[in-house]
Amino acid sequence: MGRFLPLSTPLYLVLSYLSYLASVNAQPSPEVQRRISAAIAAAGNATEIDYTGFVNPFIGTDNFGDVCPGASVPFGMAKFSTDLTGYAPAGYVTDPTQKIRGLSPLHDSGTGSSLGSYGNFEIMPLLCPDGFQTCTTRLADHASPGYFAQTMDNEIKMEATSTRRAGLERFTFPAGSKPYFVLDLANDLPASFAGGAMDIDPQAGRITIGGSWSPSFGPTSFHYQAFACYDLLSNGNGTQKLDEFGMWTGDAYGLDQKALGVTHLNLSVNLIGGTPYESGALFSFEDNTDTVVIRVGVSFVSADQACANAESEVGDATFEEIVARSKALWQDKLRRIEIDVPNTPPNVTEMLYSSLYRSFLTPNNATGEMQGAFANTTSPYFDSLYCSWDTVSDPSSTASKMLTSNKFRTFYPLMALHSPTDFAEIVENYIDGWRKTGWLPECRSNNLPGWTQGGSNGDNIVAHFAITYHNEAAQLGVDINELYSAAKTDAELNPPEWNIHGRQVNVYKQYGYVPFAVFDPSSTGRQTREASRTLEYAFNDFAVRQVALLLNNTADVETYTNRSFSYRNVWDPNVRSDGFKGFAEKRFPNGTFVELDPTDCSPQDTNTSRACSLQANNENGFFESSSWEYSFFAPHDTAHLIELMGGKDTFVKRIDHFFEAGYFQAGNEPSFQTSVGYQYANRPTKSVDRVRDVVFTNFDITPAGLPGNDDQAAMATLLIFHLLGLYPVPSTSQLLILSPFTPKYTIHNTFLNTSTTVTVHNFDQRSVQQTIPRNAAAYVQNVTVNGVPTASRCHFDFYDTFRLGGEIEITLTSEKDEVDDCAGSVPESLSTGGFASVR
Ligand SMILES: *[C@@H]1O[C@H](CO)[C@@H](O)[C@H](O)[C@H]1NC(C)=O
Ligand SMILES: *[C@@H]1O[C@H](CO)[C@@H](O)[C@H](O)[C@H]1NC(C)=O
Ligand SMILES: *[C@@H]1O[C@H](CO)[C@@H](O)[C@H](O)[C@H]1NC(C)=O
Ligand SMILES: *[C@@H]1O[C@H](CO)[C@@H](O)[C@H](O)[C@H]1NC(C)=O
Ligand SMILES: *[C@@H]1O[C@H](CO)[C@@H](O)[C@H](O)[C@H]1NC(C)=O
Ligand SMILES: *[C@@H]1O[C@H](CO)[C@@H](O)[C@H](O)[C@H]1NC(C)=O
Ligand SMILES: *[C@@H]1O[C@H](CO)[C@@H](O)[C@H](O)[C@H]1NC(C)=O
Ligand SMILES: *[C@@H]1O[C@H](CO)[C@@H](O)[C@H](O)[C@H]1NC(C)=O
Ligand SMILES: *[C@@H]1O[C@H](CO)[C@@H](O)[C@H](O)[C@H]1NC(C)=O
Ligand SMILES: *[C@@H]1O[C@H](CO)[C@@H](O)[C@H](O)[C@H]1NC(C)=O
Ligand SMILES: *[C@@H]1O[C@H](CO)[C@@H](O)[C@H](O)[C@H]1NC(C)=O
Ligand SMILES: *[C@@H]1O[C@H](CO)[C@@H](O)[C@H](O)[C@H]1NC(C)=O
């Protein structure tokens, strides 16, 4: 693995000594897949399809996918999952060798940080007839939207369901056993406790907890606060009676004290570091019940608010009622994309809806739960915006995958197709970040600013919203002028410390690129990644240019159009690799390039000691990527990139070689658009072939079915676009046309009240495999939108299609050679007159 992010404080794998760890065979029950397959098979006959039945929450819980399969509502702040030992950043991981630590209400999904994110307030049911030991082996992990269950080897079953900020936990004990529980005060997954308190009110049957912890990905000197409220008496209806209760503390070196009857703990941070102080509550129920239901509320404001959240969101509802409510919320989201299930390969249906599910799992809606600078905001508030980073993908490869700046690529563009209301709330929250902190948030995790890896990619996210919904922005609660001010601040104003937001724009503006080894008199940040930061800053500038164009600000359009060409300033025409000439490289202030091997930090790099991430000794010039991979990055100006690379034929050969030589990393965001790059060279059938190969080589319906970290559904949304035969150009309204994996789908836009149905003529299920058979129709022959043929078969515009609603017809053919051109324009590029106006 060797590419862990540099954290200023070492983290310790602290949990192995916890005495109450229990064995569990952590893998999904075969019943999960049986249920999904049956639901897909039955869909043809259903009058109203239950899309939640197609979701497999366990996809991405192995192979470092870091997906949280826990119970959550759409954008839920609460995500109830078990926490396992070992590397399990989302709490759960499919790995039969791990032990279980407990069930807890706060998690993130698809963020592979150090040791994880959240995991605070764990509860663990115990059998204690003669200690905390484990018994027979048995497996049965279940999850569906809104529901999570895991059964331990000792036969205690844990189930959870949730609302936005609360949930119910149900524990079923073996008949005749006495239910014991231990509730943890201090631990979160990264073991970052910075002090907190816990109180038991035995009469009310209520335990309140609150404390401070460090973020999973950001300065560990920053702390966030979190609170929980556990109601133990099943709403006081008399079925559950508390028996013993008290507090405990322990460590690995002999401290193991249980204090019966004690109801208050208040512990400060352990300044000497090392193994943190373990402590919490221990309680039991009178043994007249095998099933214990516990209501849990969480808050980022106070323990009282955590209790109030449980009261208002769960109240007296039963476990089944909360499951049903959550399922209804999921159905409302998932039916925004409908497909022809009976005529779609079942794996495609399962991948599509599981991906769509994950695309609504984050960011976490913490509206009403603000702290710090956001304490009194009246704007919507979302936690875990992240930069969508991770630390490892394939530990056998020398380069780990990109952490940052991917949600602008596919995540928000997908949201723009169906859910502008949700998108608008998140965009308003981004703008509010600028209002409260001075810059757009870049990598918010655990309510705190996290490390920036690329540029200020929030610019591209808000620009995508502005470009696609400026007509409705005011109605959706977004002020486009403020949006522009926010993005422009990122482009013009250097924060004194640019590790957590903003950009090092002073030197970038001065030199036209971010120079390596530059004297910067006024700002601080990790002085690495100069080539990739330049490429990212240039695309950020394109985002600002797009909004300037929208606002008819011609002077700014000129400035930022010019600046968006800065990617050219790190183009070293003399570097050669594998017979190809011209690569991006970092550059000294005097203009001299630092000529490094473009394969460094690629999956083919055999040097395992090379730093490729945020480490101070990352000498490569790129963040978690090779120059081979990053040199394809100029999504707004690919036409010129093609010229730099030596023309269309060479460009096509170069993409081919990129894949054949193994420089492509399916799980790494800079690689996302390369498989569709052939469109720009007027060779669309090659994109179709490549996308089939990428999908079937890297994605499937198993827990290991993602090529590494989901990056908060960046992978999920890339897969959805691939399956729908589309690819978005971020910060524009352009969509590339590829070949759908389903014969018919409809996207409902819940705000515009439009529905757009894509019908694929000559669809051949046999084409839905890694290599398209010679005689299977899969290549786009022509496209009509509401009866009118499109001007190109390589691209169309959101304003003419999914915004408008209606019928899109795509005719496929097996005659590949006859249709291997755009029959019209290639997708747009700035330098060839593209993106000249906004819609
Ligand atoms: C669908 O309905 C048809 C006709 O009633 C029946 O033959 C078939 O078995 C049903 N299929 C499923 C999967 O229920
Ligand atoms: C815990 O103790 C600190 C002082 O050590 C005090 O400031 C804080 O208010 C106490 N918290 C609770 C919840 O008792
Ligand atoms: C008490 O509450 C629990 C959990 O909600 C429920 O299962 C049980 O049926 C309730 N009992 C009565 C008597 O209402
Ligand atoms: C929020 O409001 C409270 C009460 O008026 C005030 O004490 C606090 O300073 C405010 N916080 C922020 C970040 O504005
Ligand atoms: C977030 O929660 C608030 C408060 O419940 C709600 O009004 C808003 O619609 C939610 N946003 C999303 C995107 O779910
Ligand atoms: C920009 O100019 C166009 C064309 O003149 C006009 O339709 C549009 O309303 C203007 N937009 C703004 C924000 O002024
Ligand atoms: C951008 O502006 C600079 C300074 O005015 C100019 O020298 C340069 O040629 C411009 N670049 C492009 C690509 O237009
Ligand atoms: C530019 O600066 C670098 C680093 O100081 C130096 O090695 C190189 O020789 C310089 N190039 C020129 C042309 O002066
Ligand atoms: C591996 O990379 C490191 C850092 O770039 C470098 O110092 C070292 O010489 C390289 N090792 C080999 C064998 O190339
Ligand atoms: C569906 O996915 C499973 C699991 O990856 C795989 O074994 C099976 O071959 C796939 N089926 C098809 C038809 O692709
Ligand atoms: C969409 O339909 C809803 C419900 O009928 C209506 O309130 C809303 O105004 C419509 N939205 C638009 C943009 O027409
Ligand atoms: C699309 O191609 C099909 C098959 O060749 C043809 O029948 C149809 O007329 C074409 N449609 C348009 C709009 O060109």
pLDDT digits (tens, 9 = 90+) for 5-49: 333 222 223 333 455 677 777 889 999 999 999 999 999 988 899
| pLDDT of the residue at 25 | 75
Considering every ligand atom, which ligand is closest to the CA of 780?
Answer: 12
Best probe residue, ligand 12, of 782, 783, 788 (max atoms within 8 Å of C-beta): 782
The strand order across the sheet containing 166-172 reads 142-144, 147-151, 157-162, 166-172, 291-299, 224-231, 206-213, 195-201, 264-268
Residue of the CA atom closest to atom 11 of ligand 9: 607
Considering every ligand atom, which ligand is closest to the CA of 590?
Answer: 8
pLDDT > 80? residue 288: no
Q: Which amino acids bring their CB within 6 angstroms of ligand 12?
A: 781-782, 784, 789, 811
Residue of the CA atom closest to atom 4 of ligand 5: 367
If you measure from the C-alpha of residue 589 to the centroid of ligand 8, how many angstroms do you get, rounded to a whole number?
A: 8
Cα–Cα distances (Å) from 25 to 33, 91, 267, 632, 731, in that order, read 17, 15, 34, 43, 45
At 1, the pLDDT band (50, 70, 90 cuts) reads: very low
Q: What token pair was written down for 686?
A: 């090659």
Residue of the CA atom closest to atom 12 of ligand 4: 375
Considering every ligand atom, which ligand is closest to the CA of 589?
Answer: 8
Residue of the CA atom closest to atom 5 of ligand 2: 268
If you measure from the C-alpha of residue 522 to the centroid of ligand 8, how many angstroms do you get, rounded to a whole number?
A: 23
Kindly give the number of the ligand 1 atom that is closest to the alpha carbon of 45.
1
| pLDDT of the residue at 20 | 66
Residue of the CA atom closest to atom 8 of ligand 2: 266
pTM beyond cutoff 0.85: yes
* Block residue for tokens 């676009």: 721
Best probe residue, ligand 8, of 511, 592, 594, 596 (max atoms within 8 Å of C-beta): 592
Burial class (CB in 10 A: 0-12, 13-18, 19+), 115: buried
State the average pLDDT over residues 635-639: 98
Assess whether the C-beta atom of 309 lies below 6 angstroms from ligand 5: no
Name residues whose C-beta falls within 8 Å of residue 788's C-beta, 6 or more positions apart in sequence.
none
| pLDDT of the residue at 342 | 97
pLDDT digits (tens, 9 = 90+) for 743-792: 999 999 999 999 999 999 999 999 999 999 999 999 999 999 999 999 99
C-alpha 635/C-alpha 413 separation (Å) is: 14
If you measure from the C-alpha of residue 212 to the centroid of ligand 4, how many angstroms do you get, rounded to a whole number?
A: 19
The whole-chain average pLDDT of the chain stands at 91
Q: Which residues are 160's β-sheet partners?
A: 148, 169
- Describe the chain by its helix, strand, coil percentages, rounded to 5: 30, 20, 50
Kindly give the number of the ligand 8 atom that is closest to the alpha carbon of 591.
1
> Helices 530-550 and 480-492 meet at what angle, rounded to 10?
150
> Helices 480-492 and 420-437 meet at what angle, rounded to 10?
50
Kindly give the number of the ligand 2 atom that is closest to the alpha carbon of 268.
5
pLDDT digits (tens, 9 = 90+) for 167-204: 999 999 999 888 989 999 998 998 899 999 999 999 99
C-alpha 409/C-alpha 670 separation (Å) is: 9
If you measure from the C-alpha of residue 33 to the centroid of ligand 1, how many angstroms do you get, rounded to a whole number?
A: 20
C-alpha 107/C-alpha 161 separation (Å) is: 14
Best probe residue, ligand 8, of 590, 593, 595, 596 (max atoms within 8 Å of C-beta): 590
Kindly give the number of the ligand 1 atom that is closest to the alpha carbon of 41.
13
Residue of the CA atom closest to atom 10 of ligand 2: 266
pLDDT > 80? residue 395: no
Q: What are phi and psi of 402, to 5 degrees?
A: -60, 140
Q: Which residues are 283's β-sheet partners?
A: 181, 245
If you measure from the C-alpha of residue 789 to the centroid of ligand 6, how many angstroms do you get, rounded to a whole number?
A: 29
| pLDDT of the residue at 269 | 86
Residue of the CA atom closest to atom 5 of ligand 10: 700
pLDDT > 60? residue 688: yes
Are 100 and 83 in contact by the 8 Å Cβ rule? The answer is yes
Residue of the CA atom closest to atom 3 of ligand 7: 562
Q: Are strands 754-761 and 744-749 parallel, antiparallel or unpaired?
A: antiparallel
